[in-house]
Copies of this chain bind each other. A is one copy, B any other.
Amino acid sequence: NRRYTVAVIPGDGIGKEVVPEGIRVLERAGQLHGFTLDQQWHDFASCDYYLQHGVMMPPDWKARIGAPDAIFFGAVGWPETVPDHVSLWGSLIQWRREYDQYVNLRPARLMPGVPSPLAGRGPGSIDMWIVRENTEGEYSSIGGRMFAGTEREIVIQETVMTRHGVDRVLRYAFDLARSREAKHLTSATKSNGISITMPFWDERVETMAGDYPDVRVDKYHIDILTAQFVMNPDRFDVVVASNLFGDILSDLGPACTGTIGVAPSANINPERTSPSLFEPVHGSAPDIAGRGIANPVGQIWSGAMMLDHVGEHEAAASILRAIETVLAEPRLRTPDLKGTASTVDCGKAIAQAL
């Protein structure tokens, strides 16, 4: 019997509703495929914790999390009580850096039976991976404010890109593209307007393309790229992007497939020198939290990506099939997909479909 240790962190809002469904499905998969998850649940990295302790995480959070095989995370943020940049920089964004999870991998795939907001697009017509740089770029903490509170007030924030940081995520994306049938990599840029960092990004893409003659490479400025996601989503296979552009594309891509409620993501440290983290793309969704109607598929699919990461490929594939089976059934879908199922109904249905 194979055992994996998993840190489970539900966080805020619908994170607390969808994580249990993710665990339900993972446990069932373990029974069927012969592995056990040793779960360590943590209540920190939530705004409730912040309100009690004045910090998002205890000072010894790293020791408490230890060295699990993976982290299974829900969502964080409750802007009514804690400003978003405080809650996020005190948890998720910190983890991505401290654990050097420099690849954020996110699929967008149109599933059978799921209604797409795009006209005339059927299953198979959208099937892409977004590879997002996850530790530097536009998400820097460098900068500041001058003349605060006066008419002359000014704020500055730096975007920082390093050859080290750009090359390693590009290499991951090129390798992924090479492993796919289409062998097609699209780079998101904005070198016509963002005139220092983005031309550098383009240069690194061009240089690395030399090592991958078998991969077809193109680039789009981010503005027209978002337009192309809507007009011609079938043109894309693997899309590599900076931290901010990847953030945008990995919400927009899933939206084109029907809902961001189904989109999973993996924050990966490819060298495995520290744990990787698996979380849905959606956030804590305060507007629907507490009503039991959140779509658990993004969390469950993130669980499948986690199993792939630890080496349980068969179990991961069977979860994906179970998701497809359930999504094809309107009555088993949650309201964001025009269904009537609750979060728990949908989670149970997927566990059963295994």
A143 within 8 A of B: yes
Copies of this chain, complex-wide, total 2
Interface-located stretch among A208-216, A246-254, A267-275, A300-308: A246-254
CA distance A299 to B154 in the complex (A): 36
Contact A252 B226 (CB under 8 A): yes
Give the chain B neighbours of A254 by CB distance below 8 A: 227
Interchain CB contact (< 8 A) of A117 among B119, B164, B250, B252: B119
A258 CA / B100 CA spacing, docked (Å): 41
Q: Say if the beta carbon of A81 comes within 8 Å of chain B.
A: no
Restricting to A5-31, which residues have a CB under 8 Å from any CB of B? none
Say whether A152 faces chain B, with CB atoms less than 8 Å apart. Answer: yes
Q: How far is the CA of A145 from the CA of B154 in the complex (A)?
A: 23
Instruction: Output the nearest chain B residue to A247 by Cβ-Cβ distance.
Output: B223
A195 CB contact (under 8 Å) in B85, B120, B156, B160: B85
Question: In the bound complex, do residue A156 and residue B196 qualify as a contact, i.e. CB atoms below 8 Å apart?
Answer: yes
> Min CB distance, A79 to chain B, in Å?
8
- CA A223 – CA B265 in complex, angstroms? 15
Expressed in whole angstroms, the minimum distance between the Cβ of A354 and any Cβ of chain B is: 29
Q: Assess whether A105 is interfacial by the CB under 8 Å rule.
A: no
Q: Is A118 an interface residue when CB atoms closer than 8 A count as contact?
A: yes
- Checking B151, B157, B255 against A159 with a beta-carbon cut-off of 8 angstroms, the contacting residue is B157
Q: Does A2 contact B (CB under 8 A)?
A: no
For A83, list chain B residues within 8 Å (CB). 191, 199
What is the bound-complex CA distance between A254 and B259, given in angstroms?
21
Among residues of B, the one whose C-beta sits closest to the C-beta of A190 is: B244
If over half of A's interface residues share one DSSP class (helix, strand or loop), that class is named, otherwise mixed; here it is: mixed
Q: Is A322 positioned at the interface, with any CB of B under 8 Å from its CB?
A: no
In the bound complex, how far is the Cα of B199 from the Cα of A89, in angstroms? 13
Which residues of chain B come closer than 8 Å to A161, judged between CB atoms? 154-156
Known A85-B191, A226-B251; contact A197-B119, beta-carbon cutoff 8 A? no
Check B193 against A93 for contact (C-beta < 8 Å): yes
Known: A223-B247, A255-B227. A163 touches B151 (CB 8 A): yes
Residue A84, interface by CB 8 Å = yes
**Chain B residues, CB < 8 A from A226:** 226, 248, 251-252, 255
Taken together as a complex, chains A and B put the C-alpha atoms of A198 and B156 apart, in Å, by 10
Contact in complex: B119, A155 (CB < 8 Å): no
Whether B162 contacts A154 by the Cβ 8 Å rule is yes
Known: A83-B199, A118-B119, A222-B248. A194 touches B157 (CB 8 A): yes
26 contacts between A and B (CB under 8 A): A84-B221, A87-B192, A115-B119, A117-B230, A119-B119, A119-B120, A139-B193, A141-B195, A145-B200, A150-B163, A154-B161, A155-B161, A157-B158, A157-B159, A157-B196, A158-B158, A222-B247, A223-B248, A223-B251, A226-B251, A226-B252, A226-B255, A227-B254, A227-B260, A248-B248, A252-B252
